[in-house]
Amino acid sequence: MKELLVSALGMGWGVLAVLAGLLVYHFTKGNRDGAFKVFIGMLATLMIFMAIANYKNNFFAESRLLPVSLVLITATTFMMALYFSNVSALLKIGGFMFLVAAALSGYGNWLPQVEGGFPPKEEKLQFDSMTSQQLADEGEKIIFGGIGQSSVQGAIGKGQCPLCHGFQKGFLSERAPNLFGLPERAEKERLTDPNYHKGEPQKRAYADKEACPGCGTATTVQEYIAESHACPNCYVAAGFGVKGTNDKESPMPKIHKPPISLSLPELAAVDTWLYVREGKEPPSYEDIIKSYEKFILEADRPKQQDDKAAGPTQLLADGTEPVDQIFAKAQCVVCHTIPGIPGATGTQGPKLEEGTNAPNRIHDSAYKGTAKTTPDYIMESIVSPSSYVVKGFPDNLMPKIFGQKLSAGALKKIVDYLSQVKAGAPPPKIS
């Protein structure tokens, strides 16, 4: 308050001095009425300058005192309106407007304040000219959505790898091998595995024998990683195949194909991170690219896109697709068997016959969720999978990110479809 007064005087002393002069003049003339008006004028001036000082101090500041200025001005104008009758209407209207604006400003300041952060730095990603550390950072972004996110459970980037793979020692990784220590393991275990048939792809017993006709098998660690990305069915780590295929088929999609479609430079970044984070010297950018060129025909290589919407806000499905594609894009099919959805034969999670299951689960004594209807139950299970864990299946296996990664429309389609699936009945139509 005192500071405000001081800074107001600092700004307005000139005007106040003139008015004081006027006051003295009126006194000497014996004009009491005039003197009184000037006195009111001085008071008003002081208040106005206080308002201005307050405005100035708080313009960019966090404090929410700006509307105080407006209230001060309102008080001033109403006070003036009392004594200066010829412009009274004008002053009152003006004052009233200040009051309205002060109320609205105050309301705006009372609400929770969110400031939109600065935009992500724009850089045309030139993967080929990066140091391996920069490249590894880009890789981490692609896998986890941000630098330093690799140790966060549930972090996920456009590569969507952590949906199935664990990356840290001890992280849950039941759907696919934990990739901790991969470079070492590739060399010591995978390439030497008799089932891998290094150099003799025809002898392989897997669904695909080669990534492309005549591509051959990997001979180095980097080529092994490249082959695994380009042709998941060429070699399936024991125990991680699609259930019922006797580990002949892998649930993993080809990473360079839609929906994930990583370009070769992006794959190079991902691979570089796999080495760098274990303190290993990564192969050069060119070598990594070459290893992929061995397994991916030129026509199949996706062009590097401008990753405009990449990052955590990117949706897996926006709800405009038919429901079977939503299931595929969100990778539900990898873990769940869903009647009526082609390819949905996963067994990591329960079979989704929610038209039958949901009512039973809601009435299960172990059920702690809040859903009362089948659609609510399904929604709850997607958005917070741990609310109820079906017996015989582990908790925390299902990612908790689908609430953010699917649009409302996509969620609705999923809920609509699943609530119609009943055990023993023909599956509903795909819409």
Site residues for other proteins per CB under 8 A: 59-60, 64, 66-67, 70, 87-90, 92-94, 96-98, 100-102, 104-105, 107-109, 111-119, 122, 306, 308-309, 313, 315, 318, 373, 375-376, 383, 403-404, 406-408, 411-412, 416
- Pull the structure tokens for residue 55: 């405005």
SS (H, E, C) 309-348: CCCCCCCCECCCCCHHHHHHHCCHHHHCECCCCCCCECCC
Query: In the chain, how long is the greatest CA-to-CA distance?
Result: 119
Minimum separation from the CB atom of position 119 to other proteins (A): 3
Minimum separation from the CB atom of position 249 to other proteins (A): 33
The residue among 35 and 91 lying less far from other proteins, judged by its C-beta, is 91
Minimum separation from the CB atom of position 17 to other proteins (A): 25
Query: CA of 150: how far to CAs of 118, 159, 173, 177, 210, in Å?
Result: 23, 13, 14, 16, 32
Residue identified by tokens 């082959």 is 227
d(CA 140, CA 277): 10
The residue among 22 and 383 lying less far from other proteins, judged by its C-beta, is 383
Instruction: Name the region of 396 (left: φ>0; alpha: ψ -120 to 50; beta: rest).
Output: left
d(CA 26, CA 24): 5
φ, ψ for residue 167, nearest 5 deg:
-120, -20
Minimum separation from the CB atom of position 403 to other proteins (A): 6
The residue among 112 and 214 lying less far from other proteins, judged by its C-beta, is 112
Minimum separation from the CB atom of position 335 to other proteins (A): 21
Going by C-alpha positions, the residue among 358, 348, 407 that lies closest to residue 381 is 358
The residue among 308 and 368 lying less far from other proteins, judged by its C-beta, is 308
Minimum separation from the CB atom of position 65 to other proteins (A): 10
The residue among 109 and 133 lying less far from other proteins, judged by its C-beta, is 109
Q: Which long-range contacts (CB under 8 A, 24 or more apart) does 104-111 make?
A: 105/66, 105/67, 105/70, 106/64, 106/67, 109/64, 109/66, 109/67, 110/64
The residue among 21 and 403 lying less far from other proteins, judged by its C-beta, is 403
- Pull the structure tokens for residue 391: 């017996």
Query: CA of 191: how far to CAs of 38, 80, 180, in Å?
Result: 96, 91, 17
The residue among 60 and 194 lying less far from other proteins, judged by its C-beta, is 60
Question: Are the CB atoms for 40 and 80 separated by under 8 Å?
Answer: yes
The residue among 96 and 393 lying less far from other proteins, judged by its C-beta, is 96
Minimum separation from the CB atom of position 259 to other proteins (A): 17
Minimum separation from the CB atom of position 125 to other proteins (A): 15
Question: Are the CB atoms for 172 and 166 separated by under 8 Å?
Answer: yes
**Cα 421 to chain centroid, rounded:** 31
Minimum separation from the CB atom of position 410 to other proteins (A): 9
The residue among 131 and 305 lying less far from other proteins, judged by its C-beta, is 305
Going by C-alpha positions, the residue among 376, 363, 390, 375 that lies closest to residue 420 is 375
